[in-house]
Amino acid sequence: MLFAHGFGCDQNMWRYVYPAFENDYKIVLFDYVGSGKSDLKAYNAERYGDLNGYAEDVLDIISELGLRDVIFVGHSVSSIVGIIAAIKRPEVFSKVILVGPSPRYINDDGYVGGFEKKDIEELLDTMDKNYIGWANFLGPAIMKNPERPELAAELTESFCSTDPVIARRFAEVTFFSDNRRDLSKLNVPSLIMQCSEDIIAPLEVGNYLHKNIPGSTLKVMNATGHCPHMSAPEETISVIKDYLHGFSAN
């Protein structure tokens, strides 16, 4: 099982989930370049100018470690990174598990992404002008679950510990991406894990993915917020295990 973290996060965010699978699978965790304890000198603006560069990193890890029958578990933007990687080399993947995925964050004709273009432009402008303030605002909004402020604090701290220049570029690549046309090309079995309330990926997005990814399974979770692997790890583990063991979702 290869776990890929979302924007502004690192591999440590999976610590509540991956131990539940250690007895049955080889676990692989990593940090994208620019995140966690990665080597910032390895960052290349041209390579990471779109999500394909991150997908190539995933494939490089798979090749370097000689992995086969990979169960890819991706959070947020990593869900789309995993889809791109699985389209490029479907033979090395057995399943793709998408946690809070979105193929496009900006609303379009007949498509609900959750944001207007000006919302994203304002978000990026705030990152430029006041990165710490942006992190302190967005962390709690993304995490939700206000009764557990330590979760929002951890996410905010993760944002703040990320190189702001790289984070700004990654945010632009993420929030302006449009991978809707890629969905129909995914031939690897997939699970869409949709939180019941998610400011980043609303319910309409999960339904859109389910409709456009052939043979996909959709599970709408009780969990709220955009990080169920942190706020609702038990439910996250249960949903993944049920899917891997062949139980139907929605």
Q: Which residue numbers are catalytic?
A: 76, 198, 226
Contact 191, 87 (CB under 8 A): no
Residue written as tokens 């996410």? 155
Exposed e or buried b for every residue in 51-72, given b needs 16+ CB within 10 A? bebbbbbbbebbeeeebeebbb
User: What are 142's two structure tokens?
Assistant: 């993304």
Residue 146, token pair as written in the block: 């206000």
| Euclidean distance between the first and the last CA atom of the chain, given in angstroms as a whole number | 23
Strands 70-75 and 2-4: parallel
Burial of 238 (0-12, 13-18, 19+ CB in 10 A): middle
